[in-house]
Amino acid sequence: MEKKFEDLKQLIDSLGLTAREYFTSALNPNEQKGDGSIVTEIDKRIEGEIRSFISENFPKDTIVGEEDDTVSGNSGYVWYIDPIDGTENFVRKIPFFAITATRLGPGPEGSFAIVHNPVTGQTFSSYMEDGAYENKNICFPTNNKVGSRHAINVSGNSKNGNEWVRSARTALWKAIYEKYGKSGSLNCALLECAYVSADRLDGFLSMETEPWDCAAGLYLIKASGGSISYYDNGWIHHAGAIKDIFGESHERRRTIFVSHPEIHDEFLNFIGNPESWAD
């Protein structure tokens, strides 16, 4: 299993080189999906390569990806793939995007996560929850403020009936700035989760997020000792298997908050119902 994990990291690193070439080229063909988001040629190519790896090495696993249909399996394990998280950054030549593949089961055994930024060369990963790593360096969140301020980012999916997210996000940016010190969005939920696990951000709230945009990041948070909650008629602390967050269909959107444990409850009390912040 560990060899397959290392083989997958090598594959994603290789796909990252391809993505970087595409990112730096003068041409960047893309098309609009039905929901108005952007899908690029390289998105489809990368997801296809990762799906082929999974089918060859884990033929009984379920596969859930952003660009293609769900493949149902019976192993009890589910994969979440996002070939380019932060696609708009990618298309705009902003070097903050990620390739991810994560395998999630009922517990740590056989589960792992990989989040790779092709431009910076950062690979955040965790194997069977045995710590979270940035390349070869162990990651863990702390409660240390920088310049006496916390940095808590907010993002969210405002498409497909989630129009409230846009105004709630804007209101929360201002409120967090006034109370805690810094807020904003880097437009790549996976890397923002990874940055919480690596102590670059103190917290991250993502509203109505697709599972492939956060599953690997949540796994890194758990493995690094951070705290995870999701909203379902109230905030629910989650300490179990990450795959259980997304329901039996494996495709349920979630509003999630991740942070260092010491600020977690205080911030959840501050937020309350995220939708209440919308105009």
Q: Which residues pair with 181 in a beta bridge?
A: 150
**Cβ-based neighbours of 218, under 8 Å, separated by 6 or more:** 193, 228, 242, 245, 256, 258
**pLDDT tens, position by position, for the chain (279 residues)?**
999 999 999 999 999 999 998 888 876 666 666 565 666 778 888 999 999 999 999 999 999 998 788 999 999 999 999 999 998 898 888 999 999 999 999 999 999 999 999 999 999 999 999 999 999 999 999 988 787 789 999 999 888 778 899 999 999 999 999 999 999 999 999 999 999 999 999 999 999 999 999 999 999 999 999 999 999 999 999 999 999 999 888 889 999 999 999 999 999 999 999 999 998
Q: Which residues pair with 98 in a beta bridge?
A: 85
pTM: 0.94
Q: Which domains does the chain have, with CATH numbers?
A: 2-138 (3.30.540.10), 150-277 (3.40.190.80)
Q: Of 115, 257, 141, 278, which is closest to residue 201 (Cα–Cα)?
A: 141
What pLDDT does residue 34 have? 59
